[in-house]
Structure formats: C-alpha cells, structure tokens
Amino acid sequence: LVLDREGRMKNAQTLMQFLIQLREKVFGTERVISEEFENVVSEDKKDLFEQNYEFLSVITDNDLCRTQIAEHKGMHRMLVIRDVYGTAMLEMAKMRSKVDHANLAEVLGIGEGRSNYIIIREYLAGGSLGDRIQHPARIKEEQAIRLMKAMVQGLKEAAGYKVHHGHLHPENILFDREGVLKIADFGVPFSGEPKLRRFFDKGPRDPFAHDRFSLGTIFFEMIAGRQYFPGQGPDENIRHLETIDIDPPGIKVIIRKLWGIVPAEQRYSDYAQVLYDLENIPRAERNRRRVKSVFDLEQPDDASGKSAGRSTPDKPKKKTTEKEQPPANPFQRALMILILIILGVAGWFIYQNYFSGS
C-alpha cells in the first residue's frame, strides 16, 4: 500500500489496484489481464492479452511475482503467465523478448502496468535442471558438458543483444517435452536471500560476469550433485570442488575460471571463450579416457616412449604409459609355443627320412 509522507493515499487508482491484488491473493480469483496492457503489445500479439484464459495452477506466489500456468482458450495452448511486481527489470524483459534462440524459452508477449508488468512465455513440460540435480542418479560428466554447451549458446545469443539474465539458477533452466534445454525468466527476480554470491575482486559489478559466475555454480552443482552455498562460504565450496574425482579434470578448470578464482588474465571475458573450452579441452580428455578404458591400446607416440595425449579423428594414435608395455596375451604365447613344437617335430621327421641314411 503506497503512502505519501503525510500518510495518505497518493491517488484513488493506486488504492483500486491494491484492492484488486488483495482480492486475488485472499480469494484466489483468476487473474484478469486488463486492457491497459494493450498499448505496449504488437497487433499480432494482442489476442494473448485478452480475457480468454483458464488458469490451471499457481507455480509461485511471493512478494516479487506470481506465476501461473494457464490455457489460452482461443489458441488452445498452454502458457506461463508471470505477474512481476515493480518495473525495475521491465526494460531488460522487453529486450529479451527480441532474442530468438533454440535454447531460450520463447517470450510471446510483455504487458506493462502502472506498478507491474506481465510476461507470457511458452509452457515447458520437461521439468527443470534443479529436478535433475536433486535426483538420486547423479548427472554424468558427459551429460553435464552437453547441457553446459546449450546454456552457453543461449546466453551468448542473448549477450549479443546486451541482455543478461541476472538470476540464473537451476530452477529456471527448463526442458521441453523432447528434452531440449531452454533458459527462462530473464529479468525476473527471485524472493529471499540470493543463493549465488560472488567473490570476485572488489570493483564494478559486471552483470555478464555475474551470469558467468552463476553458470559456474550450476556446473558445480551438476558435477557435485549437491547445492552450492548451503550456508557455507566460498572457500568451503572450493575445497569441496578439489576433492571431487572428476573425469575429465578439465571441468574443474572451467568452473574455477567461471568463478573468477584464477588470475585476472585467465578469467573469461565472454561466452565464446567458455564455449571454446567446453568444445575442445574436455574433448581431448574424453578421447584419452575412452581409449584407455575401452580399447586398452597403449603405444609410445615418439621414440622416447612418452605419450602425447592427443588423438585425431581420422587416424587415432595408440597410447602408452611411461611405466611399462601391456602384458602379452597368454593365448598368443601358448599358440607360439605350439607352432615351434610342430616345426621342431616336422624338422626332425624330415631329417630322419631324407638325411640320416647318407
């Protein structure tokens, strides 16, 4: 309830809007999207803001926003309608609606009110990344790398429009029915104390660096199978990261660089660098692991017997360790001995029949 310095209502319209919101919270009345939003909606999307919804369930309802799942009766389509109280992130939300990418949730419309705004986006029925992290079956490293690539590609596209997320979290990393990852809820604040905290060097806060830090935190949670920062300090999370047996180990390097706990010249400055590391550094690690565990082929790559640790897609090189060559196959050894015995017997027979009488 907005009051002026003298303790009186600023105007009757503010009081009316407050009473409408209060009625909805108390009685659970369906949200009515009023005509005042039409002035910021393009003509081809006006039907989204008509009073033609069947509200099915409430996802969240807190002091910052209210999120509901609804079905548009005219379009016969499930949608997510989020009513955000306050307009601090409105401009960011408008910019986000202009970005189109396979790994970003589609924003169908944005409407602006006097003290709030509404975002209408596609409904994603495949659950969230948070659900997968909390599942007893831990996310495998290969899958985590694949999901990270999808997230980075989506954020990279948004950054090209100077759009940052600001509240990246496993709960707003969603999946559609086919399992395609989509980042949702750009510019939508979370309630309560933020779980993601930065420990970069003190200085200007770069929103894109903050998103990269959050990205590293999500990577950490996928690999560790546990929530980042459950009442612990950053040092404790770093120590826990170092104790995890991760293969490929290059994942740890990427997380540390995303967190900014490396020298300044090694930190990421854009998403292209993150994507490069994800596509190249772990690939060599995975190929080396696959050769050693599946084929167990080991040969020196050079005359010194030291392994180069690289493989090419056209002609994979056999690898070896510096300690010893692999033991010979017992079957091959027995077969060789049998052949030598047969050759010896044959030679003795020939000698006795052709050369002994002369």
CATH number of residue 56's parent domain: 3.30.200.20
Q: Which pLDDT belongs to residue 253?
A: 87
Residue 341 lies in a domain: no
At position 284, the amino acid (one-letter code) is A
Same domain, 104 and 167: no
Residue 9 lies in a domain: no
- For the segment 164-177, the average pLDDT, to the nearest whole number, is 89
pLDDT at residue 136 greater than cutoff 70: yes
Residue 73 lies in a domain: yes
Q: How many domains does the chain have?
A: 2
Residue 328 lies in a domain: no
Same domain, 171 and 226: yes
Same domain, 175 and 135: yes
Tell me how far apart the terminal alpha carbons of the chain are, to the nearest angstrom. Answer: 126
Q: 157, 101 in Cβ contact below 8 A?
A: yes
Confidence of residue 342 (pLDDT cuts 50, 70, 90): very high
Same domain, 147 and 224: yes
- C-alpha 85: how far from chain center: 28
Classified as helix, coil or strand, 24 is: helix
Confidence of residue 290 (pLDDT cuts 50, 70, 90): very low
Backbone dihedral region for residue 265 (phi beyond 0: left; psi -120 to 50: alpha; all else: beta)? alpha
pLDDT at residue 306 greater than cutoff 70: no
Same domain, 135 and 282: yes
Q: Which pLDDT belongs to residue 173?
A: 94
Higher pLDDT, residue 246 or 195: 246
Separation CA 145–CA 51 (nearest Å):
43
Structure tokens at 72: 């548009």
CATH of the domain at 192: 1.10.510.10
| C-beta atoms surrounding 299 within 10 Å | 12
pLDDT, tens digit, for every residue of 323-338? 444 555 677 888 889 9
Task: Please identify, among 90, 122, 154, the residue that sits at the C-terminal boundary of a domain.
Answer: 122
Q: If you average pLDDT over each of 3-7, 175-179, 188-192, 298-302, which comes out highest?
A: 175-179
Q: Which residue is associated with the tokens 């990270």?
A: 148
* DSSP letters for 278-293: HHHHHHHHHHHHHIII
The parent domain of residue 284 ranges over: 129-295
Task: Please identify, among 122, 146, 172, the residue that sits at the C-terminal boundary of a domain.
Answer: 122
Same domain, 107 and 175: no
Same domain, 167 and 240: yes
pLDDT, tens digit, for every residue of 63-80? 778 888 888 887 788 889
Task: Please identify, among 248, 278, 295, the residue that sits at the C-terminal boundary of a domain.
Answer: 295
pLDDT, tens digit, for every residue of 216-238? 889 988 988 777 665 555 566 67
Same domain, 258 and 155: yes
Confidence of residue 285 (pLDDT cuts 50, 70, 90): low
- For the segment 155-182, the average pLDDT, to the nearest whole number, is 91
Q: Which of 183, 242, 248 is nearest to 218 (CA)?
A: 183
In whole numbers, what is the pLDDT of the chain averaged over residues? 71
Q: pTM value?
A: 0.62
* DSSP letters for 116-140: EEEEEEE---S-BHHHHHHSSSPPP
pLDDT, tens digit, for every residue of 87-115? 767 777 788 888 889 999 988 888 777 77
Separation CA 353–CA 172 (nearest Å):
89
Same domain, 276 and 139: yes
- C-alpha 240: how far from chain center: 20
Residue 139 lies in a domain: yes
Q: Which of 202, 15, 211 is nearest to 96 (CA)?
A: 211
Same domain, 177 and 237: yes
* DSSP letters for 313-355: SSSPPP---SS-PPPPPHHHHHHHHHHHHHHHHHHHHHIIIII
pLDDT, tens digit, for every residue of 245-274? 676 778 888 988 988 888 888 889 899 999
Same domain, 111 and 159: no
Residue 196 lies in a domain: yes
Instruction: List Cβ<8 Å contacts ≥24 apart for 197-206.
Output: 197/229, 197/234, 198/260, 199/234, 199/259, 199/260, 199/261, 200/260, 201/260, 201/264
Q: Which pLDDT belongs to residue 148?
A: 96
Residue 14 lies in a domain: no
Q: 223, 244 in Cβ contact below 8 A?
A: yes
pLDDT at residue 178 greater than cutoff 50: yes
Residue 165 lies in a domain: yes
Same domain, 48 and 144: no
